[in-house]
């Protein structure tokens, strides 16, 4: 993930100063443990200023409105208490090469600032600190005590001190090419390394893009550069410093991330605020997606492993119980032939009543035939009781396995993060597992959208829509809330998978190609995706029921018909779409 460097932060602050100063503070909301949003209103517009001290995505930009979830964070509560009703009257970087921004708040434009909000955009050391006009710290996003840092502490009540100043040489627009080239080439080495070692304030991203824009490579040695190469590079160096001075910003996406200098653009974006907000929102959501998916996969794997072991144990007991009739048979044979018993016998061989085949029956030599028969009858009764006790337990475990396999299949269908819908679908799966007591909820809530996630939507050859549930919440919603009287409901037979709806208008009649298309989608979004052919049932939604007490996504159905779904057709279709 690309970090906000001095160049980017300068461009952001220049834009904010132009369009959002002065602005009234209307609301403060904390989205998550690392991000606050401040509602700003000018004479012409209103939006939200996002301030983040995330270790990998610290930033400052105009962003999206926060969700409508309750805000339970202490830091935002303290900011609301101090800043509500005040005006943001100034926004400045404390130094041209320091990534610290001072937001000043006064009663009204033109008044002396009452509050200062220092936003320190410094990677894992990022922080947000509110002070009064005497630089006394009132509240801080992340307190730093002496045990955590011997260089600089940041705690409520103490005097605010700026981060330790950068040491070394800073780039200057007035520096001649000769002095600049001499400094960079003084010690032979890779071009990128020498640029970064020679000057402070130059980020690896700017250095790399500058070198590539000159037609060179970051690993090229300074010893092999020609005079023409040095001239190109210095012109770009000069362009960079002139852009900072003249506030000339050309934001856009590059192959590696983004730029505000117009170098290596693959997609030009006019608004830098939109660029920064969209880039970091996507990157953070991708990280959340990976972490959440891994967490859910590990939890499901652990739960299913325990259940598989439990089911195997119950099945072994059921297998033993199936031998109950054999013990009764041995008891009957001993009772019928007790007169053949002799003291001290360790076994008796008697003919089976039905097959007349000889059957060797082990005996306890210390007991007579009648007593041995009674032991077999007791064993028979014990195994019968065990069967009646174990069978419902096995069914219960199997139902739980079916449910978790359904959840696991939903999780496997979400391969990568493409949009917020993917993260939202995972969050709904997590909420479901919390409700079903497979996961514990945290006291602090996450920034979830209150909106419901949406199912996949595709079309059949005749143009009918096919809706596919992405998790159990969507499955239940599709089947019991969305489905109309004329729709058809599809699901893989005896296999975990998504609920699929073939949406039909009154009077519409799907042909065989439409039915097989919906069956193919149902087969593809199921646990049997790798099979050549998968049996898929379909019926009218009114014949699909949820048993009392059933877990999310689990249903029974009747009046079903069967088609063979072919998931490889969908795989080919999706590959062609890409």
pLDDT tens across 225-278, in order?
A: 999 999 999 999 999 999 999 988 999 999 989 999 999 888 887 799 999 999
On the question of pLDDT at 549 being above 70, the answer is yes
Contact 206, 191 (CB under 8 A): no
**Structural tokens at position 311:** 């089911």
Residue 415 has phi, psi (to 5 degrees) of -70, -50
Domains annotated for the chain, with CATH where assigned, are 6-140 (2.30.310.10), 177-270 (1.10.8.50), 319-396 (no CATH), 456-577 (no CATH)
List beta partners, residue 259: 252
Polymer length of the chain: 578
Q: What's residue 381's pLDDT?
A: 83
Q: What's residue 113's pLDDT?
A: 95
pLDDT in tens, 205-231: 999 999 999 999 999 999 999 999 999
On the question of pLDDT at 311 being above 50, the answer is yes
Percent of the chain with pLDDT over 70: 98
Kind plus residue range of the DSSP H or E element containing 71: none
Sign of CA dihedral 4, 10, 13, 18: negative
Residues 6+ apart with CB under 8 A from 308: 401
- With cut-offs at 50, 70 and 90, classify the pLDDT of residue 185: very high
Pairing of strands 35-41, 46-52: antiparallel
The whole model's pTM is what? 0.78
Q: What's residue 447's pLDDT?
A: 42
pLDDT in tens, 488-503: 999 999 889 999 999 9
Q: What's residue 578's pLDDT?
A: 61
pLDDT in tens, 502-545: 999 998 999 999 999 999 999 999 999 999 999 999 999 999 99
pLDDT in tens, 411-449: 988 888 988 889 999 999 999 999 999 998 764 444 444
List beta partners, residue 50: 37, 61
Q: What's residue 384's pLDDT?
A: 78
Q: What value does the mean pLDDT of the chain take?
A: 91
Percent of the chain with pLDDT over 90: 74
pLDDT in tens, 54-73: 999 999 999 999 988 888 89
Contact 88, 21 (CB under 8 A): yes
Q: How far apart are CA 11 and CA 483, in angstroms?
A: 51
Q: Alpha helix (H) ranges present in 322-368?
A: 324-336
Average pLDDT over residues 129-153: 92
Q: What's residue 325's pLDDT?
A: 75
Contact 344, 352 (CB under 8 A): no
Contact 36, 236 (CB under 8 A): no
- Tell me if residue 363 falls in helix, strand or coil: coil
Sign of CA dihedral 481, 482, 486, 487: negative
């Amino acid at each position: 993930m690309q970090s906000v460097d001095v160049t980017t932060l300068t461009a952001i602050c220049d834009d904010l100063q132009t369009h959002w100063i002065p602005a009234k503070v209307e609301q403060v909301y904390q989205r998550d443990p690392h991000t606050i949003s401040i509602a700003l209103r000018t004479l012409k517009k209103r939006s939200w200023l996002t301030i983040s001290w995330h270790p990998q995505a610290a930033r400052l930009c105009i962003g999206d409105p926060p969700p409508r979830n309750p805000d339970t964070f202490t830091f935002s509560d303290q900011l609301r208490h101090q800043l509500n009703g005040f005006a943001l009257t100034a926004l400045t970087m404390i130094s041209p090469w320091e990534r610290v921004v001072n937001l000043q708040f006064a009663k009204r434009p033109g008044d002396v600032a009452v509050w200062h909000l220092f936003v320190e955009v410094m990677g894992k050391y990022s922080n947000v600190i509110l002070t009064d006009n005497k630089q006394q710290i009132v509240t801080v996003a992340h307190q730093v005590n002496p045990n955590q840092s011997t260089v600089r502490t940041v705690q409520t009540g103490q005097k605010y001190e700026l981060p330790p100043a950068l040491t070394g040489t800073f780039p200057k627009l007035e520096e001649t090419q000769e002095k600049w080239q001499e400094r960079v080439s003084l010690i032979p080495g890779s071009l990128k390394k020498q640029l970064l070692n020679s000057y402070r304030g130059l980020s690896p991203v700017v250095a790399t893009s500058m070198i590539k824009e000159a037609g060179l490579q970051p690993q090229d040695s300074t010893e092999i550069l020609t005079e023409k190469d040095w001239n190109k590079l210095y012109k770009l160096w000069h362009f960079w410093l002139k852009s900072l001075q003249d506030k000339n910003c050309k934001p856009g996406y590059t192959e590696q991330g983004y730029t505000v200098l117009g170098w290596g653009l693959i997609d030009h974006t006019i608004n830098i605020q939109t660029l920064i907000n969209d880039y970091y929102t996507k990157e953070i959501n991708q990280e959340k997606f990976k972490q959440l998916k891994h967490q859910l996969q590990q939890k499901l794997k652990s739960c299913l492993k325990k259940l598989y072991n439990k089911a195997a144990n119950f099945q072994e007991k059921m297998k033993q119980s199936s031998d109950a009739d054999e013990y009764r048979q041995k008891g009957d044979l001993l009772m019928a032939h007790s007169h053949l018993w002799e003291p001290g016998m360790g076994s008796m061989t008697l003919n089976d009543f039905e097959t007349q085949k000889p059957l060797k029956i082990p005996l306890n030599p210390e007991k007579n035939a009648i007593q041995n028969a009674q032991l077999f009858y007791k064993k028979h009764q014990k195994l019968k009781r065990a069967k009646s006790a174990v069978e419902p337990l096995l069914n219960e475990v199997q139902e739980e396995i079916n449910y978790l396999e359904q959840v696991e299949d939903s999780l496997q269908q979400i391969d990568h993060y493409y949009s917020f819908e993917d993260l939202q679908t995972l969050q709904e799966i997590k909420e479901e597992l919390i409700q079903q007591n497979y996961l514990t909820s945290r006291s602090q809530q996450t920034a979830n959208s209150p909106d419901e996630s949406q199912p996949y939507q595709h079309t059949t050859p005749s143009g009918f829509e096919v809706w596919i549930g992405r998790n159990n919440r969507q499955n239940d919603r599709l089947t019991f809330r969305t489905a109309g009287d004329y729709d058809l409901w599809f699901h893989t037979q005896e296999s975990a998978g998504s609920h699929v709806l073939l949406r039909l208008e009154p009077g519409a009649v799907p042909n065989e190609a439409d039915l097989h298309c919906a069956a193919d989608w149902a087969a593809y979004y199921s646990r049997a995706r790798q099979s050549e052919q998968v049996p898929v049932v379909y019926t009218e939604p009114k014949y699909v029921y949820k048993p009392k007490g059933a877990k999310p996504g689990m249903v029974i159905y009747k009046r079903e018909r069967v088609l063979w779904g072919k998931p490889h057709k969908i795989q080919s279709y999706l590959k062609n779409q890409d």
